[in-house]
Structure 1
Amino acid sequence: MFMKAIAILVCLFVTTHVMAQDYITRNGSISIYSHTEMEDIKGNNNEVVSLLNSTTGTFDFKVAIKSFHFPKQAMEDHFNDENYMETDKFPKAGFSGKITDISAVNFAKDGSYNVVVSGNLTIKDVTKPVTAKGVITIKGGKLNAQSVFNVNRKEYKIMGQSFVQSKLSDNIQITVNCDFEKR
């Protein structure tokens, strides 16, 4: 009976310890930005779900495409239609990767830590490798992750209608800003 009680306590400790290594957000932010001489296009999504494991460095994002909002309703409508994101057919985008230098981050100490994230970005039915620099900031036990990087929209089959091609940049800037809490 005593050994059984010890085994249960050890299992509880290990489970608690493993769970304390995960950080989660359900309201992270991703913004997209396109600049051309004809028009600037900005969209924001504040419903990003992300999980970060501080031990392994694994990092995952999921985002509902319809949760991007734009200053003009017409931009939002175009973004979601069959010529751009095809939201009805591909409702989500995602990233699955790893912080390559996770040992450089001290999750127990306040500070800002430069990191590199590598993984696969999936938009529509296209998955491509992406590597981006980022910053993880620890303050008072809270974690914030930020990154800015570019993707080529045509590589992800985001074409648009021919008459608006000059209004949409080939390279789209993506900005990630997520506040995580321990899971």
Structure 2
Amino acid sequence: MKTKSIVLVASFIVLISAAFVSPVEKLVSQKTHISFFSSTPVEDITADNYKATSTLDTSTGDLVFSVPMQSFEFEKALMQKHYNGKDFLDTKSFPKSKFVGKITNLDEVDFSRNGTYEASVSGEMTIKGVTNSVEEKGTILVKDGRVAAESTFDLTLADYGINFKNGKPASNIAKTIEITFKGEY
């Protein structure tokens, strides 16, 4: 009888403790799409990447993206060759780009309630071995327990050591490109 009482009390304490502990909710992207768009008077260039991964911890706001750089797909094979080459992103030497950051207004996002939430994100982005601090805005959609996030922002290539002073790349590739991220968790 005494053992039964101890087990009952211990079970009660565990249940009460669990009610007051916030669960760590680490979400992993099921579908992530990253694209970039470059527009110049000479031509527009678009590339898509469906192989990126992303994790989001809804209890802390921690956010991580890992992007395999050779997985960007271009309309023309020659564009893809130039993009992966040593003069542009040198994807053999720098196979991944990464963002490690945090949702800074996490108190304004309710992951347990359907809705569309504006999110502010800050962190460190590394491309081609160069890391810069970034702050961007995005949107988080919560619907029936599923989470989707998206953001569109500009990225200046020179900030990551990607420069073209002359030749065809200087006129064909914009100095600032538009990046679009869409992820489903």
TM-score normalized by the length of structure 1: 0.88
2:52 and 2:31 map into 1 onto residues whose CA distance is: 5
2:159 to 155, 162, 176: 155
Which consecutive residues of structure 1, in runs of 5 or more, have no partner in the other structure?
none
Q: Are residues 127 and 26 of structure 1, via their aligned partners in 2, closer, same or farther at CA, if it must alter by over 3 Å?
A: farther
Question: Residues 65-92 of structure 1, C-alpha deviation per residue, up to 9 Å, x if partnerless?
Answer: 0110011111111100000110110000
Counterpart in the other structure of 2:170: 165
**Aligned-partner residue type, residue 114 of structure 2:** D
Q: Distance in 1 between matches of 2:126 and 2:45?
A: 21
Kept in 2, the 8 Å contact 1:58–1:97? The answer is: yes
Q: Which amino acid aligns with 1:172?
A: I
Asked whether the 8 Å contact 1:26–1:48 carries over to 2, the reply is no
2:78 corresponds to 1:74 = yes
Secondary structure at the counterpart of residue 47 of structure 1? coil
- Structure 2 distance, partners of 1:127, 1:140, is 36
Q: In the TM superposition, what is the alpha-carbon distance from 1:159 to its structure 2 partner?
A: 2.5
Aligned residue runs from structure 1 range 1-183, under 5 A? 6=11, 18-19=23-24, 21-160=25-164, 162-163=166-167, 164-180=169-185
Write the distance in 2 (CA, Å) between the matches of 1:47 and 1:17.
Answer: 31
TM-score by length of 2: 0.87
Q: Is the 8 A contact 2:22 2:59 kept in 1?
A: no
Cα offset, 1:38, TM superposition: 0.5
SS at match of 1:145: strand
- The superposition leaves residues 48-106 of structure 1 with CA deviations (integer Å, 9 ceiling, x where unpaired) of 11111111111100010011001111111110000011011000000000100011011
Across the aligned residues of Structure 1 and Structure 2, the Cα RMSD in angstroms comes to: 2.4
Contact 2:118 2:139 in 1 (8 A): yes
Runs of 4+ in 1 over 2 A off after TM superposition: 16-19, 159-162
Unaligned runs of 5+ in 2: none
- State the aligned residue count: 177
Structure exhibiting the larger radius of gyration computed from Cα positions: 2
Cα shift at 1:120:
0.6
